[in-house]
Amino acid sequence: MAVPIPKQIIYTYELNVLQTEAILDHYLQYKGNKDFYLLLLDIDGSREIRKKGILLRLEIIKQLQTFIEDNLNLGKIHWYGNDEYLIILENENQEEALKEANRIKTLISEYELNINEEVENVSFSGKVTVTGGLVRSDEAMDLIDLIRLARIRVANGKDNGKNIIEDKGTLDLTPFNYNLTKNQQHKLQTLSTQRRRGVDFLLREAVDTLMAHYPQFHGHRSDREYKLPVNAFAYACSSTGKYVDEAE
């Protein structure tokens, strides 16, 4: 029988995401003319760990975060929900930042975990790896797109074999045949004006959210055009923030 997730864990998860975004947004605004690098790390094989136990997974995340903070002299490591960490690297150029990111990745892969989770009565002994997406602070217009770009690079890294740091990949909108109705186009344009975000951004946000949170759209990024029906982009126009299958 699965152990229910305590509400406090859910609240902590949501609070971590908000706090991390607030801290990074503040950093972006007050960094002056100095660029920095943002490293997003995602634990490889986390789905198999989650199958063993939710609390076990959270303990692994906690121990890895402590290990990184205690041993890598990087300052604060931000748990960004799910199985992700965000780290600010203040290196002067791409080569140095990539070298530092790979050093972090290697040290994590060498760290031995030994965890016994008493509530779920499960354990984990061994090592884990991470795949990272590295972005420079001026590669996107704001924090939302900066993190989205980092996630795109993480996805590319996982497609290329995992346990690597990827610093290539763009925010270019995937050329789907959206087939939006005039009404949807109007709604998107209205939202674009209200939010001061481009229509392309709203559609990218719709794709990423559907891929992340709705099982019917899960899969590798290369499968998107097959797994995302054109009417899914009604999500971008949704006033409720929820996906409704218009084909039903």
Q: Indicate the residue among 166, 199, 227 that finishes a domain.
A: 166
Q: Based on the domain organization, do 47 and 162 belong to the same domain?
A: yes
Q: Based on the domain organization, do 101 and 195 belong to the same domain?
A: no
Give the residue numbers spanning the domain of 224. Answer: 182-237
Q: Based on the domain organization, do 213 and 130 belong to the same domain?
A: no
What kind and span of H or E run contains 101?
Answer: helix 94-109
Q: Based on the domain organization, do 187 and 134 belong to the same domain?
A: no
Looking at the domain assignment, is residue 246 inside a domain? Answer: no
Looking at the domain assignment, is residue 160 inside a domain? Answer: yes
Task: Tell me the C-alpha to C-alpha distance, in Å, between residue 231 and each of 105, 171, 184, 198.
Answer: 39, 22, 10, 20
Looking at the domain assignment, is residue 130 inside a domain? Answer: yes
Domains identified in the chain, total number: 2
The per-residue b/e assignment along 164-178, b for 16 or more CB within 10 angstroms, e otherwise, is bbbbebebeeeeeeb
Q: Based on the domain organization, do 123 and 17 belong to the same domain?
A: yes
- CATH (domain of 41): 3.30.70.270
Q: Based on the domain organization, do 151 and 196 belong to the same domain?
A: no
Q: Can you give the pLDDT at residue 209?
A: 64
Q: Indicate the residue among 111, 135, 166 that finishes a domain.
A: 166
Looking at the domain assignment, is residue 247 inside a domain? Answer: no
Q: Can you give the pLDDT at residue 22?
A: 78
Q: Can you give the pLDDT at residue 1?
A: 46
Looking at the domain assignment, is residue 101 inside a domain? Answer: yes
Q: Based on the domain organization, do 40 and 153 belong to the same domain?
A: yes
Residue 192: what are its φ and ψ, rounded to 5°? -60, -40
Q: Can you give the pLDDT at residue 155?
A: 87
Q: Indicate the residue among 120, 140, 166 that finishes a domain.
A: 166
What kind and span of H or E run contains 224?
Answer: helix 224-227
Q: Please list the ranges in the chain whose pLDDT falls under 50.
A: 1, 175, 220, 229, 244, 246-248
The DSSP letter of residue 129 is -
Looking at the domain assignment, is residue 155 inside a domain? Answer: yes
